[in-house]
Structure 1
Amino acid sequence: MFTPWAAKTTAEAAVDNLPAVTAIAAGDRTGAVDFLKGAYRRYTQTRASIGSEAHDMFERMIRGEYVNPRRITDQMQPYYDHFSEFLDTVQPELIRAEDVAWSDTYEYAGSFDALLRIKDEDGTYTTVIADWKTSKSTYPEVALQMAAYGFADRLIDPEGNSEPMPPIDAAAVLHITEDQWAFKPVRFDTEVFKYFVHLRSVFDWDREVSKTVLGKPFAKGGRKSIVTGTQRRA
């Protein structure tokens, strides 16, 4: 998936910056190539920067901290507006924010964005573990992420205090872009969590166990290898 995405990002950079690329190429072909080669990295760095700044702002807002609109940058303004509209529309009650979900059973940990209490149409309350996303789209893997948080054994706050994970009814992702926002339900059940646990085992295999399975040869020998035609042509 990465290769087509990187190719598309490079092509978009070429089309969007055609006059500049043409001008650079006229005097420095290598420079123009390097500019386009770095398009996907620049995009990734920009999105990461936007995501970090937006998450910091969202945390302040969900905690009820006053954020001066006059100090919001033009880049952050749409995210501020959309998150403000989300708060007004959904009116979530904050339970926890940016705490660590810790699993003693499966040995993993991660910081989640928020644990919310949301009033349903019938007047009942639902405890929802939520995640903020500022990417172009939301992806199925977010369900694995939310299951990992919600099925962890305990919470750890910034001061190091630990307590059992409270009962969680549902999961949701708040997807915010420059143009719109949507608060989407995310499947949250034991089946999804089982897939996460399986992938957690695969991670252990790749990072640790796979490095232990091949030992030194009992014996070895042979003659100096020949250079094949394929190697010569390369």
Structure 2
Amino acid sequence: MPGAVRTIKRGGSRFYINPETAEKVPGVTSIVGMLPKPFLPFWASRMAAETAVDNLPAVTAIAERDRDGAVDYLRNSHVRYTNLRARIGSDAHDMFERMIRLEEIGRVHPDLEPYRLGFAEFLTAVRPQLIRAEDVAWSDEHGYAGSFDALVRVRLGEDGKPDPAGTEHTLMVDWKTSRSAYPDVALQLAAYAHADRVISPDGTSEPMPHIDGAAVLHITPDGWVFKPVRIDEEIFNVFLTLRHVFQWDREISKTVFGSPIAQSVRRLVTGTQRRAA
């Protein structure tokens, strides 16, 4: 029996290792990361400015003793925020998986309690039936893989709202705990839904089942919303374009220059220059 799918980090990107063939393919989120993000420098600058204004006495005190330390403290404001959000997001995803698998959840950290309450409301309102969670979607045809949050069945009425008597839909679902849900979630979900197969934690593989659509559960301490997401051919083709960009960035771009056809010769170093040195 094949082993579990392993992942490795190379050059800041995640790669998945096929447990049967040892083939290495890039992860979905690393491919989606090829999207331009022109807003990031402005966001990072704003985080530094807000940190300075909100902590002015502390920053001043640090700067009086260690100017470089104060600069680093402000410069890394966005990194600290991102790491904090990543930790909360990871813990919340773990909790969501346990809850949708009907595990009993006891007391949780106060930071997670709003997410627990919101997810419990979602389960009661939508009544999703879990098919799979946190398994790996693998594309043999296009060479990528990624771990998806959940594949569920929900019953929806003609108006698209939850209805116990409605039609059953199989949905690829992503949980988001960030401040906003961004359009690139459609690229992630389209990649998972168009993959060839699903690989379980023990390494066994099955064809990707028929998927009717996709949805994102955006859940914050203030509330939650469950909304459909496009994963049609147009969206998937955008993802495939980014797959080509990833290959260009990591592989093809390193092969474009050949050996020099001609180049300058070493300049003559005169005796005067040697003596001056």
TM-score normalised according to structure 2 size: 0.77
Correspondence for 1:155 among 194, 198, 206: 198
Distance 2:57 2:227 in 1: 41
The CA RMSD measured in Å over matched residues stands at 1.4
Alignment-mate amino acid for residue 133 of structure 2: A
1:40 positional shift: 0.9
Matched, 1:134 2:187: no
Distance 1:180 1:96 in 2: 25
Matched, 1:14 2:57: no
Partner of 1:109: 145
Partner of 1:50: 88
Distance 1:204 1:141 in 2: 19
Matched, 1:63 2:97: no
DSSP 3-state at the match of 1:191: helix
Matched, 1:35 2:73: yes
DSSP 3-state at the match of 1:119: strand
DSSP 3-state at the match of 2:131: strand
DSSP 3-state at the match of 1:172: strand
Q: How many residues align?
A: 222
Distance 1:18 1:62 in 2: 44
Matched, 1:199 2:242: yes
Partner of 1:81: 117
Distance 2:54 2:110 in 1: 21
1:136 positional shift: 1.1
Distance 1:130 1:103 in 2: 18
Structure 1 residues 198-207 or 29-38, which shifts more? Answer: 29-38
Partner of 1:211: 254
DSSP 3-state at the match of 1:109: strand
Deviations 1:14-66 (A, max 9, x none): 12222322333344333322211121111111111111111111111111111
1:223 positional shift: 6.5
Distance 1:222 1:139 in 2: 54
1:222 positional shift: 5.2
Alignment-mate amino acid for residue 121 of structure 1: G
Structure 1 residues 17-26 or 143-152, which shifts more? Answer: 17-26
Distance 1:35 1:111 in 2: 34
Distance 1:92 1:155 in 2: 20
Distance 1:11 1:81 in 2: 33
Partner of 1:232: none
1:200 positional shift: 0.5
Structure 1 residues 133-142 or 143-152, which shifts more? Answer: 133-142
DSSP 3-state at the match of 1:183: strand
Equivalent residues in 2 for 1:164-183, closer than 5 Å: 164-183=207-226
Alignment-mate amino acid for residue 115 of structure 1: L
Correspondence for 1:100 among 123, 132, 136: 136
Deviations 1:64-119 (A, max 9, x none): 11111x2x001111111111111111111111111110000001000000001011
List gaps (5 residues or longer) in structure 2. Answer: 1-38, 159-165, 268-277
Alignment-mate amino acid for residue 48 of structure 1: A
Structure 1 residues 161-170 or 21-30, which shifts more? Answer: 21-30
Partner of 1:227: none
Distance 1:50 1:159 in 2: 27
Distance 2:67 2:202 in 1: 54
Partner of 2:275: none
Percent identical among aligned pairs is 61
Report which of the two has the higher share of helix: 1
Alignment-mate amino acid for residue 86 of structure 1: F
Distance 1:153 1:101 in 2: 7
1:196 positional shift: 0.8
DSSP 3-state at the match of 1:79: helix
